[in-house]
Structure 1
C-alpha cells in the first residue's frame, strides 16, 4: 500500500484530535469565564461557536476516514 492511502487516515486522526483539543480548551475557557463572573451571554455565544468548530472538525475527520476506507476497497 502507498503512503498516500494512509495519509487520509493520518489526516482524519489529526482533525479528530484537533476537535478534542478544541473541546478541552473551550470548556476550560468557559469555566474560567464563569469563575471570573463575566457576562453569561458572551460565554454562551463562545460555547456555541466552539461547538460549531468541533462539529466541523469531526465532519472533516469523518470525510477523510471514509476516503481512507474507500481507498482500501479498491
Structure 2
C-alpha cells in the first residue's frame, strides 16, 4: 500500500496550519529547504570546530553558572 496521489497537497495544507509563515511546499521545496538548513548548520558547526569550542550542553551552562557564584 502506498500514498495516495494527493498526499503532497494534504501535506502542504497540514504544514500551512502548523507553520503558517514557513512557506513550505511539498517535496521539492522541502528538500531544498532541508539542504539550505543543513548547509547553514554545517557552516556554524565548522566555525565552532575551528575555534576549538563545541556547542554547550545544558550541563555545561549550569556548571559555568555555578562556578561564577
With the shorter chain as reference, the TM-score category is 0.3 to 0.5
Q: Whose relative contact order is higher, 1 or 2, with alpha carbons under 8 Å and at least 6 apart?
A: 1
TM-score by length of 1: 0.38
- Larger helix proportion of the pair: 1
Q: Which has the larger radius of gyration?
A: 2
